[in-house]
């Protein structure tokens, strides 16, 4: 039998130094935003007992979870397809005695059987705000989402906000699942003609609302005004009032300049477990949403604690790819120094103590050497002497090297 080739499973990948640096830098920036807003980081395990994890998963995420039998115990476990249910579990159990509001954040890999674009291992970061009601909680989470998108440095970022109430009101009036699926699909495509056909099965009072819903997207103020003008039942009116209050709270809390929001009341895709305001974040260069979030007031109760909650998760891989597509340079360039000759070890030590990357090397850095060392650029210092134009000489010190590294970083080699 021939040896099978060296390969990776579909949907997982390695990140070489430059790609890894982009992802680590994005994660660090986003987590820094979360922490400034008072969200404390927790770490949860890569896999859990399948039945425990599934309590907190919506229909789609359950189908996406990879399960296997844990050999030690014989228990069925699942790789986490989402971190939110883990946070819900922690809040309901180990933090059961902590009063809200509780602010938590996380960062880590999740694994999905059929994620967006066929990918399976996704780097995710997110926040959860527990026991904060609307509109204040929703407004805060939206403001953190906007700050996170801004921290990515991506152009044309946009938050699109909605509320599940109008579409659920329409869908509740549909006679069966088949009709619901057709209405949902037409809403997602913003297909007026298709919706008119699908909505034919709805009661007379609801049909015009369904037909209006397909057009209820666009700039926040005007779209909300159009929505409010329709003859919705009382609970949808209350939801729209609440959405208006969230937008006002967002304008108060968000970083300046306050980003423009858009509204989309028809889109329900990917918002399985939300119960109120929901939102998605987009950025130039990313084909799909890079961030999804909203209110999920029923999730934590599945783990035994009645607590309202809202939050979002950001797809760091999608952000990184968007940065590349948008032509954004690597957020950090890594210049270093290769030191050679007598006293090289001591000089390298001195440089490292100043935070400068330094390697003791035998020869001048080549392009291949740079890649091996993970530097974007490097200079070989084989003497510790600085010669000035006027021929005065003095020993090179760490300040000189710091200036050199700065020069290298500002003039990186083309790659």
Report the site for a copy of itself in 295-314 (rule: CB under 8 A). Answer: 303-304
Nearer to a copy of itself, 21 or 171 (CB): 21
3-class secondary-structure state, position 221 = helix
Nearer to a copy of itself, 46 or 197 (CB): 46
Does position 6 interact with a copy of itself (CB under 8 A)? The reply is yes
Of 29, 57, 103, 274, which one interacts with a copy of itself (CB under 8 A)? Answer: 103
In angstroms, the Cα distances linking 255 to 10, 22, 79, 215 are 40, 24, 36, 30
Of 336, 379, 401, 405, which one interacts with a copy of itself (CB under 8 A)? Answer: 336
Contact 268, 286 (CB under 8 A): no
Give the bridge partners for 105, in sequence order. 41, 127
Of 30, 57, 61, 79, which one interacts with a copy of itself (CB under 8 A)? Answer: 79
Q: How many residues does the chain have?
A: 415
Site for a copy of itself in 36-55 (CB under 8 A): 36-49, 51-52, 55
Least CB distance from residue 126 to a copy of itself, whole Å? Answer: 14
Token pair listed for 232: 């919705």
Least CB distance from residue 340 to a copy of itself, whole Å? Answer: 13
Say how far apart CA 55 and CA 410 lie, in whole Å. 51
Please choose, from the candidates 195, 217, 219, 218, the residue with its C-alpha nearest in 3D space to the C-alpha of residue 208: 195
- Distance of alpha carbon 259 from the chain centroid: 18
Nearer to a copy of itself, 205 or 329 (CB): 329
Of 172, 197, 248, 345, which one interacts with a copy of itself (CB under 8 A)? Answer: 345
Say how far apart CA 163 and CA 264 lie, in whole Å. 8
Among 32-40, 149-157, 273-281, 397-405, the segment contacting a copy of itself (CB under 8 A): 32-40
Q: Which 8-state DSSP code applies to residue 57?
A: -
Peptide bond into 135 cis (omega under 30): yes
Say how many residues touch a copy of itself, by CB under 8 A.
98
Least CB distance from residue 290 to a copy of itself, whole Å? Answer: 19
- Distance of alpha carbon 170 from the chain centroid: 30
Of 1, 14, 177, 257, which one interacts with a copy of itself (CB under 8 A)? Answer: 14
Contact 189, 309 (CB under 8 A): no
Site for a copy of itself in 227-256 (CB under 8 A): 252-253, 255-256
Of 72, 257, 327, 414, which one interacts with a copy of itself (CB under 8 A)? Answer: 72
Of 26, 30, 57, 77, which one interacts with a copy of itself (CB under 8 A)? Answer: 77
Does position 16 interact with a copy of itself (CB under 8 A)? The reply is yes
Of 268, 334, 340, 379, which one interacts with a copy of itself (CB under 8 A)? Answer: 334
Least CB distance from residue 174 to a copy of itself, whole Å? Answer: 32
Site for a copy of itself in 364-383 (CB under 8 A): 366, 368-369, 371-375
Least CB distance from residue 2 to a copy of itself, whole Å? Answer: 12
Contact 106, 83 (CB under 8 A): yes
Q: Using CB under 8 A as the criterion, what x/- string covers residues 119-138 for binding a copy of itself?
A: -xx--------xx-------
User: 145-184 burial, b for 16+ CB within 10 Å, e for fewer?
Assistant: bbbbbbbbbbeebbbbbbbbbbbebbbebbeeeebbebbb
Does position 7 interact with a copy of itself (CB under 8 A)? The reply is yes
263 phi/psi in degrees, rounded to 5:
-120, 140
Site for a copy of itself in 172-231 (CB under 8 A): none
Of 2, 71, 229, 399, which one interacts with a copy of itself (CB under 8 A)? Answer: 71
Say how far apart CA 357 and CA 408 lie, in whole Å. 12
Contact 363, 340 (CB under 8 A): yes
Least CB distance from residue 51 to a copy of itself, whole Å? Answer: 5
User: 24-36 burial, b for 16+ CB within 10 Å, e for fewer?
Assistant: bbbbebbbebbee
Nearer to a copy of itself, 17 or 215 (CB): 17
Q: Residue for token digits 């300040």?
A: 399
Peptide bond into 257 cis (omega under 30): yes
Contact 52, 90 (CB under 8 A): no
For CA atoms 265, 266, 267, 273, the dihedral sign is positive
Least CB distance from residue 306 to a copy of itself, whole Å? Answer: 15
Of 61, 82, 84, 89, which one interacts with a copy of itself (CB under 8 A)? Answer: 89
Nearer to a copy of itself, 255 or 385 (CB): 255
């Amino acid at each position: 039998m021939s040896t099978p080739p060296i390969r990776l499973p579909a949907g997982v990948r390695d990140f070489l130094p430059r790609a890894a640096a982009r992802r680590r830098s994005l994660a660090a920036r986003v987590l820094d935003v979360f922490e400034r807003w008072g969200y404390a980081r927790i770490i949860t395990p890569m896999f859990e007992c399948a039945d425990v994890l599934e309590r907190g998963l919506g229909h789609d995420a359950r189908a996406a979870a990879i399960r296997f039998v844990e050999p030690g115990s014989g228990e069925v476990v699942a790789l986490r397809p989402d971190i939110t249910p883990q946070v819900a579990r922690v809040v309901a159990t180990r933090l059961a005695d902590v009063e809200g509001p509780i602010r938590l954040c996380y960062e880590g890999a999740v694994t999905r059987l059929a994620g967006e674009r066929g990918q399976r291992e996704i780097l995710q970061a997110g926040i959860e705000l527990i026991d904060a009601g609307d509109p204040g909680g929703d407004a805060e989470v939206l403001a953190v989402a906007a700050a996170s998108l801004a921290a990515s440095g991506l152009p044309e970022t946009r938050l699109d906000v909605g509320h599940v109430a109008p579409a659920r009101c329409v869908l509740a009036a549909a006679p069966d699942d088949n009709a619901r699926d057709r209405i949902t699909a037409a809403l997602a495509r913003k297909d007026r003609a298709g919706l008119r056909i699908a909505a034919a099965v709805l009661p007379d009072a609801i049909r015009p609302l369904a037909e209006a819903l397909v057009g209820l997207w666009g700039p926040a103020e005007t779209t909300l005004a159009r929505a409010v003008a329709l003859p919705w039942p009382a609970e949808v009116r209350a939801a729209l009032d609440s959405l208006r209050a969230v937008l006002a709270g967002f304008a108060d809390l968000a970083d300046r300049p306050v980003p423009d929001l858009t509204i989309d009341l028809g889109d329900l895709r990917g918002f399985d477990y939300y119960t109120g305001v929901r939102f998605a974040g987009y950025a130039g260069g990313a084909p799909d949403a890079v961030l999804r979030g909203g209110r999920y007031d029923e999730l934590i109760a599945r783990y035994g604690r009645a607590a309202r909650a809202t939050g979002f998760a950001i797809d760091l891989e999608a952000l990184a790819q968007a940065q590349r597509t948008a032509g954004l340079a690597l957020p950090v360039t890594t210049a270093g120094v290769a030191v050679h000759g007598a006293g090289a070890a001591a000089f390298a030590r001195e440089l490292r103590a100043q935070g400068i990357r330094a390697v003791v090397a035998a020869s001048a850095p080549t392009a291949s050497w740079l890649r091996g060392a993970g530097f974007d650029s490097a200079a070989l210092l084989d003497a510790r002497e600085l010669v000035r134009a006027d021929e005065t000489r003095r020993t090179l010190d760490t300040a000189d090297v710091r200036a050199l590294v700065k020069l290298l970083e500002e003039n990186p080699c083309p790659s």
